[in-house]
Structure 1
Amino acid sequence: MAGGQCKSVPLLSPEELRQEQPASAQVLAGVAAARAAVTAVLDGTDDRLLVVLGPCSVHDLDATLMYARRLRELGRELAEDVVLVLRTYFEKPRTRVGWPGLLSDPWLDGGYALEDGLRMARALLLEVSEMDVAAACEWLSPAVPDYLGDLVSWGAIGARTVTSPVHRQLASGLPMPVGLKNAVDGDVRHAVDAIVAASRPQVYPGVGARGRPVVVHTSGNADCHLVLRGGERPNYGPAEVAEAMALLAEAGLPRRVVIDASHGNSGKDHLRQHEVALELAGSIAAGQEQIRGLLLESFLEPGRQDWAAGRPLVFGRSITDACMGWRVTEELVRTLAGASRTRRALLAERTG
């Protein structure tokens, strides 16, 4: 037999999962408020700085919840200057192969227990939301937002999928601000094109909340924005940001950007990521208005560890990209809050 083969097995529907793990009216109101706050920062009507931070990918629920509790306290303390959103990334895009993320392999045994992964992911998002901590996800499978999207305040389309028409359609109907990353090689124009497409209404075949085929009609998402994540070379410097702003203006899009201090901008080196973020803090403090937010990869313990089925793991250390540890993260977020405060005062002086 030529070619590949596939097998289909039943999966609970989004409606069934939401009924099984319902979100309270209070939780949904909190998510709506967090989305509004993120949108206001991106639009410039709120002069705070958005910081999306947390583990590269969620593999340990207890460690992620401990991180969330620390983030909640830090966010409350610095609320006048920063809006903090927790990375809860459950799918791990891969260039070739590797651990695919909590949704597909929640038990870290190669078992691909997707239904377990969906339940675990939604349970985590509910607990995080009940703490009044906003959550962020990168959307890989177009089916997943129907299961989890009601609990997410900021979404991302990654560098490997930003050129995909399917993901542009998806972003156009997501009920949250969505950051679209430049392509893996660093090409920004692909992301700008994706933002234009996602801002327009789309019609495409999909699967509804009850698990049946539907025709999806989207309104277009005006809160899509550019994320610079580097590529073959970093692209977070003043010249690269200016080039990106020119591309956005040429496309008739708002001149705003979120910068990923990890990935291509740091060579996936968590020590270099810290240096990049400090450089960006300097630019913000000097009055750079177009940088509306940062993405940081951070966990309880610094670095990363190799994973293999059955191998004991260090609690709170990433099994994918290397992350900054909490101590450095806390210091950095305080520095970013100070930079946001300084920028506010500087711009008020300029306009006053």
Structure 2
Amino acid sequence: MAREITYIAAIMEGIHQEMSRDEDVLLIGQSVGGSPEDPFVAAFGPDRVRVTPISETAEIGMAAGAALAGKRPVVDCTMAEFLLVAMDQVVNEANRFHYMSGGRVTAPLVLKAGYGFTAGWAGQHTGSIYGMFMGVPGLKVALPSTPADAKGLMATAIRDDNPVLFLHHYLLTLETGDVPEGEHLVPFGQAAIVRPGTDVTLVATGWTVHRALEAAEELAADGVSVEVIDPRTIAPLDVDTVLASVERTGRLVLVDQATRHASVSAIIAAEVAEAGFASLRAPIVQVTALDAPIAYSKPMEDFVLPDVAKIVAGVRRAVDVTLPHDAATAVR
């Protein structure tokens, strides 16, 4: 049975589900369990819900140690940029123990962090920096775009025996959707075809999935059939689903809120260019953020980021539909 709840409520439901199922699951962070009335403290007690010092290096280091000792900590890191001050633990410590021990040691921890909160938060709190993590050996990266996937991917992340970076888009926080009650797991490395189509494959992540669906609806009115794919996890990345779609459509447009040269779209484009070149009937088109910091100014913010109009223009380029000059340049 499914019911409609918010994206953030679905994430917390996934954590609550796993804490109820497994007493080794812990929730720690600077902004969790602030009072005895907190629902997680009330349900699981202060030993399993821990407020940490205002130090990402400390909280992630504590979590790595707890994971090596047999616990399954979920660290609420608040914001993806805050991970940058603890990069050694994130990309050079916990993720390597399994390999360096010949498979004898596991480090099951989840680093939960928000990303992409534009809306005037300016240059240091709006980044979509997942691209720098997706190529790190031993680290998995999840980017849910719906409440149902948010719950299911969180539960799967907690059960994984090695570190998972779980990134949730701030602008999706209060978006609602149908979410299954009870146990719900979404497998890693399995993309979702969220809208079938025949003319062009459109791959988007996180918040941009919804913009891609809006663009597909607009294009359908003009007779362009767009297949929209959500990878859901970028490490592991389901390249096979994308390749199979491109084989059917012959065209590929990639949408990514990250900057062009640090994007998931660049990786997918490279994979398709190598393994699916024979299927392409047009050049691959990337619709990404510009290689610039996000400005505080709303008009400048909008100029830098992808939006529905830019996605529509990108798809039209891919299917060779005649464009006004200003629309054609919007995605370059």
Task: With the length of structure 2 as denominator, give the TM-score of the two structures.
Answer: 0.30
More strand per residue: 2
Using the size of structure 1 for normalisation, the TM-score is: 0.29
